Copies of this chain bind each other. A is one copy, B any other.
Amino acid sequence: MSAAGAASGYRTLDQATLPALLDGLTDVRARLGGGPSDWQIREVGDGNLNLVFLVDGPSGTVCVKQALPYVRAAGPSWPMSLERAFFENAYYRAVAPHVGRLIPEVYHYDPALYCTIMERLSPHVILRQGMIAGSVYPDLGEHMGEYVARACFFTSDLALGCERKMSNVALFAGNQALTRISIDLIFSDPYVVSERNRHTSPQLDGLVQEMRQDTDLKIAVAQFGRKFLTQAEALLHGDLHSGSVMVTDGDTRVIDPEFSLYGPIGFDLGAFFGNLLLNAHAQCGHATAYDDRRRQRDWVLAQARCFWLAFRRQFLSLWQEHSGGGTGYPGVLFANAIDAAAVERARVAYVDALFADMLGFAACKMIRRIVGFAHVADFETIDNAVLRAGCEARALRFARRLLTQASDFPSIDSVMDAVHGSTEMAPP
C-alpha cells in the first residue's frame, strides 16, 4: 500500500459525473437500489478541504467524500495534497477492526479520484453543532474515551510487534502536507504575526499581543510541538475536534481522519478535550432569556471529565486484557507472579502521564481556534463581538494557565474546579 503513483486520472466529481462512478461499483449500486436516474445527489461539504456528496437511492443511501487539490476555504491559491484521502482511508482500515462501530463503514476507496464512498450517517449531526444548539448526548464522553483508548492502544507498541508498528510509522510518515499544516497552524502561527491569523478585534488585540510576548507560553507550546514531532506512540486521528464527530442520542461516530499520523496519544486526547472546553467557554454567548445555558455548560464539562476517565479506565483495561502482546512492555519480561502488582503500577503511571499531555495539547488547540486561521462555530456564531470576545478571552486565559502553570492541574478534578470558574457566566 502506498500513497504515490495514483496521481493520474484525477478529476473533480460533480452531480453530473458521480452517478457513472457509483453505477460501476456493484456493491454500492446494490446498496442504493435502482439505477443512476433514480439517485438524488446533494453536495453538502462544509469543511475546508473536500467535496461531500450525499446520494439517495430507492433502497439506500451513501456518502461520497472527495479530496480537492486546494484548501476550499482559501480557494485554488492554497494548493493541498490530494494524498490526504489516501491517509484517511489507511487510517480507517487500520482502526476499523478495533473501533468499527464508532466510525462510518467504508464501502469503497478510489485511489485515482482520491474519493471515499462510505456509510451515510443519518440522522446524525455534527457534534459541534449539536452542542451549540444545546443538545446533550448521554454517552458522548464514554464513547469518545473508548474510541481514543481502542484506536490508540491497538496501534501502539503495547499491542503491535515492532515490525508492524514500524511499517505503520513508515506509511503514515508520508502524510507530510497535512502534518505541516498542523505544525504551522497549531504550534507556530498563533504566536506570531501571520496573514493566516485572525481574532475578534479590537477586543482581543491586547491579549493576542501579550501572548506573542509571553516567552513561557511559547516555550511550553514549542515543547508540545516537539513532542508532537517526535513521540510516535500510536496512530492518531490527528484532528479529533468536535467537528470530526457525528452523533445521535445513542450513537457516536468519528469521521475525517485525513490528518492521521503516528504521534503522542495526548494529541488526540487533547484535541477532543480542548474542543469541549472551547464549547463550555462559548455557552454563555448562546444564553437567551429562556436559557442561561448553565446546564448545557455543566453537561459539556461533565462529558470532558467522563471522556478522560473513560479513556483511562478503558486503556488500562485493554492493557491488562492484552498484556504483553506487543513489543513494548513485552509479556515475557513479567511472567513471574511477583511482577504483577509492580507492572500494574507502571501502567497506571504511564496512563496518568498522558493526562499532562492531554492538557497541554488541549490548550494549544484552544488557542489556535481563537487567534489562528481556522476558528470554531462555538464562538463564531456569537454575533455580539463584545460578548464573543469575553468568552474567547476567558478560554484563552484558561488555555494559557494550562500551559504555563501545568503543575496546578495534577488531576481531572483540579481542571474541572478551575474551568468552572473560567466558564462562569458574566453578570448581564
Contacts and interface: CB of A to CB of B under 8 A. Distances in A.
Interface stretch (A33-41, A174-182, A309-317): A174-182
Contacts of A174: 166, 170
Contacts of A157: 226, 229-230
A231 interface: yes
Interface in A150-166: 157, 162-163, 165-166
Given A231-B231, A333-B221, A342-B215, A163 B176 contact: yes
A346 interface: yes
A329 B222 contact: yes
Contact of A167 (B173, B188, B329): B173
Interface in A352-391: none
Given A215-B339, A346-B223, A173 B176 contact: no
B163 A219 contact: no
Copy number in the complex reads 2
A336 interface: yes
Interface in A120-176: 157, 162-163, 165-167, 169-171, 173-176
Contacts of A191: 333
A216 interface: yes
Interface in A209-242: 212-213, 215-216, 218-219, 221-223, 225-226, 229-233
Given A169-B173, A219-B346, A342-B219, A329 B231 contact: no
A227 to B, nearest CB: 10
B165 A334 contact: no
Contact of A173 (B173, B183, B222, B330): B173
A332 interface: yes
A207 interface: no
A338 interface: yes
A328 interface: yes
A157 B179 CA distance: 13
A21 interface: no
A327 interface: yes
A335 interface: yes
Q: Chain A: interface secondary structure?
A: helix
Contacts of A215: 334, 336, 338-339, 342-343
A44 interface: no
A183 B231 CA distance: 18
A226 B173 contact: no
A233 B170 CA distance: 15
A239 to B, nearest CB: 16
Given A176-B167, A223-B346, A346-B223, A327 B231 contact: no
A188 B231 contact: no
Given A173-B169, A173-B170, A339-B215, A192 B332 contact: yes
A328 B222 CA distance: 7
Contacts of A332: 188, 192
Contacts of A223: 346
A328 B346 CA distance: 29
6 nearest A-B residue pairs (beta carbon):
A170-B173, A215-B342, A166-B173, A226-B328, A170-B170, A163-B176
Interface of A: 157, 162-163, 165-167, 169-171, 173-176, 179-180, 183, 187-188, 191-192, 212-213, 215-216, 218-219, 221-223, 225-226, 229-233, 327-330, 332-336, 338-339, 342-343, 346
6 contacts: A157-B226, A169-B169, A192-B335, A219-B343, A225-B329, A230-B232
